[in-house]
Amino acid sequence: MAETTGFDFAKNIRHALGDQQLRKNFKFAMGSMIQKRRLIFADEAEFEQLRAIGSAIRTRALAKLPELLARLEARCTQNGIQVHWAETTAEANATVLEIMQRHGATRMVKGKSMVSEEMHLNHFLETRGIEVTETDLGEFIIQLAGETPSHIIVPAIHKNKEQIARLFQEKIPDTPYTEKVEELNAIARRTLRRKFFDGQVGLSGVNMAVAETGTLCLVENEGNGRMCTTVPPVHIAVMGLEKVVEKLSDVPPLLRLLTGSATGQLISTYFNMITSPRRPGEKDGPHEVHLVILDNGRSRILTDPQFRQTLQCIRCGTCLNHCPVYTRIGGHAFGHVYPGPIGEILTPQMVGLREAGVLATASSLCCACEAVCPVKIPIPGLIRELRNASYTATPTGRVPGEGFKRNLPETLVWKAWEKVNRTPALNAVVTRLAGLMGDKAPRLGPLKLWSRYRTPPQVARRSLHAMTRAQGVDDE
Amino acid sequence: MSDTARENIMRKLAAAVADRPAQIPETGALPIPALCQAEKIEQLKHFMQSVRGEVHVVKAKDWVSRLQDLLRPRALKTLLYGPATPHGKILAAGWPPEDPGLPRLVPYAAPVEDFKSELFQLDAGITGTLGAIAENGALILWPTPEEPRLISLVPPIHIALVDAGNIYCNFSDALTAGSWKAGMPTNALLISGPSKTADIELTLAFGVHGPREVLVLVLEA
Amino acid sequence: MRIYPPKPETVYFFGTCLVDMVYPDAGMAAIRLLQREGLRVVYPQAQSCCGQPAFNSGFPDEARAVARKQLHLFPKDYPIVVPSGSCAGMMHRHYPALFAGDPDLALAEEFAGRVFELTEFLVHVLKIRLEDRGAPVTVTWHSSCHALREMGVIQDSKSLIRQLRNVTLLELENEHECCGFGGTFAVKQPEISAAMVADKAADIRNTGAGTVLGGDCGCLMNISGALQHQQVPITGQHIAQFIWERTNG
């Protein structure tokens, strides 16, 4: 399904930077997440060892992906889980709808799933007469507000408790205004308990799927995930095809990395490992479990030896937390399902550079994300590669939309820069001229943008080249 | 539709990984610490208590009477259990039939379809465990026909029995020692405490959709 | 952990284009520091830029062409000392990948192995001892991202400041957060960059220090420019120049 066009990144950024409440909310939240993560991974040497293991597990899984997916499907099927494949989000949506219609189901309860956001599943089902209730508290809040998630792990992080209190009062019947967090949670619990009870189909994502045993693993703190996957008679799990791991023994290190990086916890409240629907003699659990495996461009990303590292991601969200850009503009400004550093590399690859290549400019390449990524994705390097792809004169099909930014003025600027810096005599002339201008260079182009917020740099009258010559520093 | 999609996807994936070397290096593993039982119990207690779990170490032969002592002040009306489990039988055998200070035992004996309304009104549920993990304070549950999953989810209080000899140092330890890969249950579970969320301003609040209290009895021989 | 060579007799100095054009005094101060330790410093006059601006902006071919020029200017087996974590990081960490599959790859790898950021060289190779001759002063320190994350030299830089006994180092609350320069990022995303440098400037002001020190002229240009624009009387200075002035009397 095509992303909505009319994505104006510059406008979104301006709007976000001007929203003082938003900036305050994000600054507090990201600072808190950084601190919690630092505490849980206090031993840096241990963290490096652990994430080397995490990276190896994910690399190995991607290297063997078709084999592991085949094994996963075989085990799941053997255990009674019905496996479906979808190349596009349209196919995935159609599959979910078909399962619901087969059961005459009109009420779905949902656990948090970023893949379901990719699918725009809620809108798809709601326009076909199906009631979809988000049960993760953060997702529940933004569903009431009619918004999309602004963070991978804490979707409502952009809202403070006053905003949530007002929202609950306005949108949930018979609800008084209260800012007390315990009371807000109690309201959500009461409202959603009824929905779990009445739910006909439960939908969840998958944090990791173990090929060895055909097991779907889910991480959660609230208990809504267990409710969605145990109470209704039908459970549908949707999963990006890269989420498979080879062995059960791969799970503990990844789980430790995921919970530590995502929320600064040693372990989540619940870790569910689902291997089959209700077995004979069992008294609860869904009678049917479905797994929908979604491609949506991942198979193409796997093709490129460098870009395939993007697929190592375990969706912990810590790159967002550490990003100085994300902290200041929040998740909605990115205009697509995945924000932050991972969003900057994943989105252009999924929807093309023409639509989303601009996201790759929203980075100072500070490398804070790379330093904390639990599976060692070289995010800054991949941002750089996307910039290269944006300007390349020789497309190779690595990313859709290569060369879209190619333009004469910029090409000439860099060609001139190259010439000057390759030609010592020319460099000397340019340096001398700039030195004569000092800080009086005309404020055009980059200098104009620079000067809006800073005094322009003062080019020295005498360059270091000239000084070293004058001081008799050896040339060779 | 799904079959064509599968074919197309698998074909693309196979082509994508065709350049990969045949030998992919194995992953290293973190060492499993060597802890004695007392140390494991201490660690389990520490981590569970840090997220509002309540842990009591009791003598195995006394667990039913200890449980009764812990439940009296709570004034609960009902306690859900699996009657066909070994601990379920011991519980029922040791439970006074008409004690107003203790909850009535409710057996989970029928499929949830026939039991749902009552289930959602119960005060507490008690389960056994496969064991527990010291490193992060997690209980291991392997639900069975005799002990359904919803016992540890729906009632607001979850009581769990842990055999002190079944506490593992870490998750890897539990997986290997228990040979999990030989056969996984419908829904294996790690539970590290009462349900919680920090979705509102990152303020931690307990008791969301899962139990708001987890009461653990560690049974020592 | 990097393995450092013993103290050599001669070193190359790669000034960097920003030092050359905007902060030549800092470059000269660094050269003087090295000479004072008894080294012969060689400054090949044909040098220009490490290539990073183009490399980060999506123009790798142009970056490689400029980088290639530099590769051939430092032929002898002397360490190459660089007064910038960012440029040192470009050459030490990225040159090998930049020349992958290129006839100059071996040269690039050999070159990269000889590149040292100034403060790591002073601390680990020269084991420099500093005697503070200046009046008491308070300073704060900004960790440039590449010095921190690509070269890992921040502790070295700060240890030099701490050797100066009349200097009080007041640390920033968010020392490790990017100042928003990012090379062309400052002009590609000027508002975000401005928001970042505004926060960095506020953090600096809050320390009460009179001077902010840094090891990277890009950051200094950015931070000083913002402080001056806000008419805040705090000066930014390169650590080499600061150390030279304090110890030269």
Contacts of B186 in chain A (CB under 8 A): 274-279, 282, 285
Give me the percent of chain A exceeding a pLDDT of 70.
99
Q: Is the pLDDT of residue A3 over 50?
A: no
Query: What's the pLDDT score for residue B23?
Result: 66
**Contact B129/B141 with Cβ under 8 angstroms?**
yes
Query: What's the pLDDT score for residue A295?
Result: 98
Q: Looking at chain A, which residue has its C-alpha nearest residue B176?
A: A249
DSSP letter, residue B113: G
The number of domains in chain A is 3
The per-residue pLDDT of chain C, averaged, comes to 96
Contacts of A329 in chain C (CB under 8 A): 192
Q: Looking at chain C, which residue has its C-alpha nearest residue A333?
A: C192
Query: What's the pLDDT score for residue C58?
Result: 97
The two tokens of residue A20 are 């003082």
Is the Cβ pair C43, A365 closer than 8 Å? no
Contacts of B18 in chain A (CB under 8 A): none
Neighbours of A207 (CB within 10 A): 26
Taking a contact as any Cβ pair under 8 Å apart, which residues of chain A between 227 and 286 contact chain B? 227, 229-231, 241, 247-253, 255-256, 263, 266-285
Contacts of B188 in chain A (CB under 8 A): 215, 272-273, 275
The number of domains in chain B is 1
- pLDDT (average), residues A110-129: 97
Task: Please give the single-letter amino acid code of residue A241.
Answer: L
Q: Within an 8 Å CB–CB cutoff, is residue A164 touching chain B? A: yes
CA distance A269 to chain B (A): 5
Same domain, A455 and A388: no
Query: What's the pLDDT score for residue A446?
Result: 80
Domain assignment present for residue A461? The answer is: yes
Same domain, A45 and A33: no
Q: Within an 8 Å CB–CB cutoff, is residue B6 touching chain A? A: yes
Query: What's the pLDDT score for residue A5?
Result: 62
Query: CA A431 from chain center: how many Å?
Result: 44
CA A255, A257, A259, A262 torsion: positive or negative?
negative
A376 φ/ψ sector (left φ>0, alpha ψ -120 to 50, else beta): left
Residue in the structure block whose two tokens are 């550490």? A322
Question: Phi, psi (5° rounding) for residue B104?
Answer: -75, 135
Q: Which of A235, A264, A299 is the last residue of a domain?
A: A299
Taking a contact as any Cβ pair under 8 Å apart, which residues of chain B between 97 and 156 contact chain A? 108-112, 115-116, 120, 135-138, 143-145, 148-150, 153
Residues 6+ apart with CB under 8 A from B123: B76, B77, B78, B79, B103, B155, B156, B157
Q: Is the pLDDT of residue A80 over 80?
A: yes
Same domain, A238 and A260: yes
Interface chains of chain A (3 or more CB pairs under 8 Å): B, C
CB pairs under 8 A between A and B: 256
Same domain, A85 and A133: yes
d(Cα A338, Cα A296) in Å, to the nearest integer?
Answer: 14
pLDDT in tens, C16-63: 999 999 999 999 999 999 999 999 999 999 999 999 999 999 999 999
The two tokens of residue A92 are 């995935």
Q: Within an 8 Å CB–CB cutoff, is residue B181 touching chain A? A: yes
Query: CA A169 from chain center: how many Å?
Result: 31
CA distance B189 to chain A (A): 5
CA distance B9 to chain A (A): 7
Query: CA B217 from chain center: how many Å?
Result: 12
SS3 at position C62 = helix
**Contact A203/A116 with Cβ under 8 angstroms?**
yes
Query: What's the pLDDT score for residue A262?
Result: 96
Residue in the structure block whose two tokens are 């800092």? C26
CATH code at C137-248: 3.40.50
Q: Looking at chain A, which residue has its C-alpha nearest residue C47?
A: A424
Count Cβ neighbours within 10 Å for each residue of A359-380 and write b for 16 or more, e otherwise.
bbbbbbbbbbbbebbbbbbbbb
Residues 6+ apart with CB under 8 A from A43: none
Residues 6+ apart with CB under 8 A from C153: C85, C117, C119, C120, C147, C215
Q: Is the pLDDT of residue B61 over 60?
A: yes
Give me the percent of chain B exceeding a pLDDT of 70.
99
By residue range, what is the domain housing residue A329? 1-40+317-406
Same domain, A116 and A264: yes
Same domain, A464 and A328: no
Is the Cβ pair A450, C225 closer than 8 Å? yes
Same domain, A381 and A436: no
Contacts of C194 in chain A (CB under 8 A): 452-453
Q: Within an 8 Å CB–CB cutoff, is residue B216 touching chain A? A: no
Domain assignment present for residue A443? The answer is: yes
Q: Within an 8 Å CB–CB cutoff, is residue A63 touching chain B? A: yes
Q: Is the pLDDT of residue C125 over 70?
A: yes
- Crossing angle of helices A65-79 and B2-16, rounded to 10°: 150
- Any contact of B with C, at least 3 CB pairs below 8 A? no
Is the Cβ pair B193, A65 closer than 8 Å? no
- In terms of DSSP bridges, do strands C211-214 and C235-238 run parallel, antiparallel, or are they unpaired? parallel
Domain coordinates in residue numbering, chain C:
10-125, 137-248
The per-residue pLDDT of chain A, averaged, comes to 95
CA distance C231 to chain A (A): 10
Neighbours of A135 (CB within 10 A): 29
Q: Is the pLDDT of residue B25 over 90?
A: no
Q: Is the pLDDT of residue B1 over 80?
A: no
Q: Is the pLDDT of residue A348 over 90?
A: yes
Same domain, A256 and A402: no
pTM for the predicted model, two decimal places: 0.96
Same domain, A17 and A81: no
d(Cα A246, Cα A68) in Å, to the nearest integer?
Answer: 6
Q: Which of A390, A406, A422 is the last residue of a domain?
A: A406
DSSP letter, residue B62: G
Domain assignment present for residue B167? The answer is: yes
SS3 at position B59 = strand
SS3 at position C66 = helix
* Rounded alpha-carbon distances, angstroms, from residue B202 to A63, A390, B198, B199: 37, 38, 4, 6
B170 φ/ψ sector (left φ>0, alpha ψ -120 to 50, else beta): beta
Is the Cβ pair A422, C185 closer than 8 Å? no
Question: Phi, psi (5° rounding) for residue A290?
Answer: -120, 145
Domain assignment present for residue B62? The answer is: yes
Q: Is the pLDDT of residue B20 over 80?
A: no
DSSP letter, residue B25: P
Domain assignment present for residue A192? The answer is: no
CA distance C219 to chain A (A): 12
By residue range, what is the domain housing residue B158? 36-220
* Among A321, A417, A439, A464, the residue to mutate for chain C (most C Cβ within 10 A): A464
d(Cα B211, Cα B194) in Å, to the nearest integer?
Answer: 5
- Any contact of B with A, at least 3 CB pairs below 8 A? yes
Q: Is the pLDDT of residue A1 over 60?
A: no
Q: Which of A368, A386, A406 is the last residue of a domain?
A: A406
For chain B, helix (H) and strand (E) counts, in that order, are 6, 12
- In terms of DSSP bridges, do strands A215-220 and A208-210 run parallel, antiparallel, or are they unpaired? antiparallel
Q: What is the CATH number of the domain that holds B175?
A: 3.40.50.10420
- Return the minimum-mean-pLDDT range out of A223-237, A441-455, C193-207: A441-455
Query: What's the pLDDT score for residue A2?
Result: 41
DSSP letter, residue C164: -
HEC-encoded secondary structure of chain A: CCCCCCCCHHHHHHHHHHCHHHHHHHHHHHHHHHHHHHHHCCCHHHHHHHHHHHHHHHHHHHHCHHHHHHHHHHHHHHHCEEEEEECCHHHHHHHHHHHHHHCCCCEEEECCCHHHHHCCHHHHHHCCCCEEEECCHHHHHHHHHCCCCCCCCCCCCCCCHHHHHHHHHHHCCCCCCCCCHHHHHHHHHHHHHHHHHHCCEEEECCCEEECCCCEEEEEECCCHHHHHHHCCCEEEEEEEHHHEECCHHHHHHHHHHHHHHHHCCCCCCEEEEECCCCCCCCCCCCCEEEEEEECCCHHHHHHCCCHHHHHHCCCCCHHHHHCHHHHHHCCHHHCCCCCHHHHHHHHHHHHCHHHHHHHHHCCCCCCHHHHHCCCCCCHHHHHHHHHHHHHCCCCCCCCCCCCCCCCHHHHHHHHHHHHHHHCHHHHHHHHHHHHHHCCCCCCCHHHHHHHCCCCCCCCCCCCHHHHHHHCCCECC
Q: Is the pLDDT of residue B98 over 90?
A: no
- Return the minimum-mean-pLDDT range out of A446-450, B97-101, C81-85, C112-116: A446-450
Is the Cβ pair B170, A252 closer than 8 Å? yes
Q: Is the pLDDT of residue A406 over 50?
A: yes
- pLDDT (average), residues B166-172: 95
Q: Within an 8 Å CB–CB cutoff, is residue B191 touching chain A? A: yes
**Residue A412: is it exposed, middle or buried by C-beta count within 10 angstroms (0-12/13-18/19+)?**
exposed
As beta bridge partners, residue A272 has A218, B189
pLDDT in tens, C170-181: 999 999 999 999
Give me the percent of chain A exceeding a pLDDT of 90.
92
- Cα dihedral A165/A170/A173/A174 (nearest 10): 60
pLDDT in tens, B105-161: 999 999 999 999 999 999 999 999 999 999 999 999 999 999 999 999 999 999 999
Query: What's the pLDDT score for residue A439?
Result: 75
Domain assignment present for residue A183? The answer is: no
Same domain, A328 and A259: no
**Residue C168: is it exposed, middle or buried by C-beta count within 10 angstroms (0-12/13-18/19+)?**
middle
- pLDDT (average), residues B43-56: 97
Domain assignment present for residue A151? The answer is: yes
d(Cα B57, Cα C215) in Å, to the nearest integer?
Answer: 57
Same domain, A69 and A215: yes
Give me the percent of chain C exceeding a pLDDT of 70.
100
Same domain, A213 and A341: no
Is the Cβ pair A366, C59 closer than 8 Å? no
Question: Phi, psi (5° rounding) for residue B20?
Answer: -75, 145
Q: Within an 8 Å CB–CB cutoff, is residue A39 touching chain B? A: no
Q: Is the pLDDT of residue A272 over 50?
A: yes
Q: Within an 8 Å CB–CB cutoff, is residue A152 touching chain B? A: no
Q: Is the pLDDT of residue B30 over 80?
A: no
Q: Which of B44, B79, B73 shows the shortest CA–CA distance to B170? A: B44
d(Cα A326, Cα C192) in Å, to the nearest integer?
Answer: 10
Is the Cβ pair C56, A457 closer than 8 Å? no
Give me the residue from A363, A418, A424 closest to C185, CB to CB: A363
d(Cα A336, Cα A362) in Å, to the nearest integer?
Answer: 14
Domain assignment present for residue A288? The answer is: yes
Count Cβ neighbours within 10 Å for each residue of C52-87 and write b for 16 or more, e otherwise.
bbbbbbbbbebbbbbbbbbbebbeeebbbbbbbbbb
SS3 at position B161 = strand
DSSP letter, residue B165: G
